[in-house]
Amino acid sequence: MINLRRQLPYKPTERMNVVSYPIRDIVMEAKHEEAKGKKMIYLNIGDPPQYGFKPFNVIAERVKSALDESWKGYAPSEGDEQLRRTVAKIERGSPDDVFIVAGLTEGIDFFFHSFIGFGEKVLLPNPVYPLYLSKAKQFEGDSIFYRHDAEGQIDLVNLERKIEGAKAMVIINPNNPLGAVYTEKNLTEVVKLCADSDVPIFYDGSYDQLIFEGSQVDFRKIARNKVPFIYGSSLSKDFSYPGARIGWVAFHGDRWAEVKNAFFLLCNQRLSVNWEYQKAAAAALVDPSYPAYVADMKMKLMERRNTFVKMARTLQLSFPVPNGAFYAFMKIETPKWKKDLEFVRAALKEGVVFVPGSGFGRQEDGVYFRSTFLPESEIIEEAFEKIRRLL
């Protein structure tokens, strides 16, 4: 008997439908071009070491010394005690409120897994870092999007219309992909709306040390005792060490006991995060040389941003001027381009790699793309020259 079924390739599950990662998908096409000999400028990914930014050196040094100590078994699932205490001090909370995760990526997964139930509304920024979209779908939440104004601040009228009945609101500040930094006034109003509607906040502070102009706002002070929130960050961006795979989340407010227990179970299930790197994170977070390190990084980033903005203004592009992180989210103001993917592919043929705006949520009013300004000024200038004729 011939068994036809055997001839067929296996199919992935239906739930894989919702998993995609547009930022890296476009890279595949770029690598293909590069393999054919074309020189490519990568403005698509937020990976500082690729562009010459050195990770905070305390981390590698402390990993080395930890390797001579005894941190080779499973670490406590919820995180190394010393690191939890260190984070707790920064957060002005208790170590019991802190969980160590394999990059904030894992913390976001745990947040949706444990807190966003089937059919529950989660308020996301639009545009938004793509992982939030795909986690909301994976865990069957109902994504509701709040808008930004032209300066990149949260549009409070729009938020007010949508906040009712939300299970939680996600804030990314500085925002990826906008590069916008929310003002104290804006955040205070947002916190007030959340408090009025009893909506807790997941605050993604991955880039919270990388703010250029104006004094830095501490969200914890704004929100404390007003609304329950979770504050997350990592070594990836503020310390330029994405490969470390170390992040953390801290729960604030007294209503999280059962959700913290759920986080604990999820931590248990994947057993452990690398222990030596946790020791290194504990050292890095309190090292006195960090302020100088981050000041230098910000200075370089500002210079590159300035070049980027100057160049972009020569073309038919509009965008909020980024005041943090290392991204700009650009709207194409010429009618030539009807689909973002078509523009991104055309740019790729010219040797410049961007991410199409649709990867960050549906953009109903126009055609968008995201660019980093991580590379040195000359490369940014070169990139703009290459795409000049497209715009």
Contacts to its own copies from residues 44-83, by CB under 8 A:
45, 47-50, 55, 60, 63-64, 67-68, 70-75, 77
Q: Which is nearer to its own copies, 134 or 306 (CB)?
A: 134
Residue 96 sits in the site that holds its own copies (CB under 8 A): no
Residue 381 sits in the site that holds its own copies (CB under 8 A): no
CA atoms of 386 and 328, how far apart (whole Å)? 18
Give the range of 149-157, 274-282, 285-293, 322-330 binding its own copies by CB under 8 A: 274-282
Q: How far is the CB of 129 from its own copies (least distance, A)?
A: 12
Residue 200 sits in the site that holds its own copies (CB under 8 A): yes
Alpha helix ranges (H) inside the chain = 22-35, 57-67, 81-91, 104-115, 130-138, 156-162, 184-197, 219-223, 257-269, 275-285, 290-312, 340-350, 377-387
Contact 50, 42 (CB under 8 A): yes
Residues in CB range of 79: below 8 A, 6 or more apart: 98, 99, 100, 248, 267, 273, 278
Query: Applying CB under 8 A, what is the total number of residues that bind its own copies?
Result: 86
Residue 32 sits in the site that holds its own copies (CB under 8 A): no
Q: Which is nearer to its own copies, 9 or 288 (CB)?
A: 9
Q: What are the C-alpha distances in Å from 315 to residues 43, 304, 312, 384, 389?
A: 17, 17, 5, 9, 9
C-alpha angle 290-294-295 in degrees, rounded to nearest 5: 115
Residue 225 sits in the site that holds its own copies (CB under 8 A): no
Tell me the residue length of the chain: 391
Residue 35 sits in the site that holds its own copies (CB under 8 A): no
Residue 106 sits in the site that holds its own copies (CB under 8 A): yes
In the set 93, 103, 125, 205, which binds its own copies (CB under 8 A)?
103
Is the peptide bond between 125 and the residue preceding it cis, with omega within 30 degrees of 0? no
Residue 277 sits in the site that holds its own copies (CB under 8 A): yes
Site for its own copies in 153-182 (CB under 8 A): 161
Residue 238 sits in the site that holds its own copies (CB under 8 A): no
Residue 2 sits in the site that holds its own copies (CB under 8 A): no
Residue 331 sits in the site that holds its own copies (CB under 8 A): no
86 residue type, one letter: T
CA atoms of 271 and 75, how far apart (whole Å)? 8
Give the range of 113-121, 172-180, 216-224, 372-380 binding its own copies by CB under 8 A: 113-121
